Amino acid sequence: RAKSAGGNRCETADPELDARAITSHGLTTALPAALERGEFFIEYQPLVHMDDGSVHGAEALVRWSHPQHGILGPDQFIPLAERTGLIVPLGRWVLQEAVRQARYWQEHHTEGGPLRINVNLSPAQLQHPGLVTDTVAVLERSGLAPGVLCLEVTESALIGADETLLRPLRQLAEMGVDIALDDFGTGYSNLANLRRLPVSVLKLDRSFTQGMQQLPVDPVDLKIVEGIVSLAHSLELAVTVEGVETGAQADRLRELGCDTAQGWYYARPGPPELLHALSLADAI
Ligand code: C2E
Ligand code: MG
Ligand code: MG
Ligand code: MG
pLDDT of 2 strictly over 60 = no
Nearest partner of 266 among 251, 245, 280, 283, judged by Cα: 245
Helices (H) and strands (E) in the chain, counts: 12, 9
Nearest partner of 13 among 59, 67, 60, 86, judged by Cα: 67
Test site for ligand 1: of 18, 61, 118, 149, most ligand atoms within 8 A of the Cβ: 61
| Spatial distance between the Cα atoms of 136 and 133, rounded to a whole number of angstroms | 5
Place 191 in a pLDDT band, splitting at 50, 70 and 90: confident
| Spatial distance between the Cα atoms of 153 and 139, rounded to a whole number of angstroms | 19
Record the pTM: 0.91
Task: Tell me which ligand sits closest to the C-alpha of residue 10.
Answer: 1
Q: Is the peptide bond before 216 cis (omega within 30 degrees of 0)?
A: yes
- Determine the distance separating the centroid of ligand 3 and the alpha carbon of 73, expressed in angstroms: 14
Q: What are the Cα distances from residue 248, in Å, to 39, 51, 101, 204, 239? A: 38, 15, 32, 17, 18
Residues 157-194 as b/e (b if ≥16 CB within 10 A, e otherwise) read bbeebeeeebebbeebbeeebbbbbbbbbebebeeeeb
Please tell me the predicted confidence (pLDDT) of residue 32.
Answer: 86
- Determine the distance separating the centroid of ligand 2 and the alpha carbon of 119, expressed in angstroms: 7
Task: Tell me which ligand sits closest to the C-alpha of residue 205.
Answer: 4
Ligand 1, atom 17, residue with closest C-alpha: 243
Please tell me the predicted confidence (pLDDT) of residue 7.
Answer: 43
- Determine the distance separating the centroid of ligand 4 and the alpha carbon of 62, expressed in angstroms: 14
Nearest partner of 253 among 283, 214, 198, 212, judged by Cα: 212
Please tell me the predicted confidence (pLDDT) of residue 3.
Answer: 37
159 vs 148, higher pLDDT: 148
- Determine the distance separating the centroid of ligand 1 and the alpha carbon of 35, expressed in angstroms: 20
The DSSP output letter for 159 is T
Strand partners, 117: 58, 149
Strand partners, 63: 41
Test site for ligand 1: of 101, 120, 135, 203, most ligand atoms within 8 A of the Cβ: 120
- Determine the distance separating the centroid of ligand 3 and the alpha carbon of 263, expressed in angstroms: 10
Please tell me the predicted confidence (pLDDT) of residue 1.
Answer: 32
Please tell me the predicted confidence (pLDDT) of residue 154.
Answer: 92
Among 114-128, 155-169, 186-200, the range of highest mean pLDDT: 114-128
270 vs 214, higher pLDDT: 270
ipTM of the complex: 0.98
Please tell me the predicted confidence (pLDDT) of residue 250.
Answer: 93
- Determine the distance separating the centroid of ligand 3 and the alpha carbon of 180, expressed in angstroms: 9
Q: What are the Cα distances from residue 233, in Å, to 51, 139, 185, 256? A: 16, 29, 16, 12
pLDDT of 232 strictly over 60 = yes
Region 124-133: mean pLDDT is: 95
Q: Which residues lie with the beta carbon below 6 Å from any ligand 1 atom?
A: 8-10, 45, 61-62, 73-75, 78, 91, 94, 120-122, 152, 182-183, 206, 242-245, 262-264, 269
Q: Where are the alpha helices (DSSP H) in the chain?
A: 19-24, 30-37, 74-84, 87-108, 123-127, 131-142, 155-158, 163-175, 206-209, 219-234, 247-255, 273-283
Residue 11: CB partners within 8 Å, gap ≥ 6? 2, 3, 4, 71, 73
Q: Which atom of ligand 1 is nearest to the CA of 269?
A: 11
Residue 59: CB partners within 8 Å, gap ≥ 6? 44, 45, 47, 118, 119, 120, 152, 262, 269
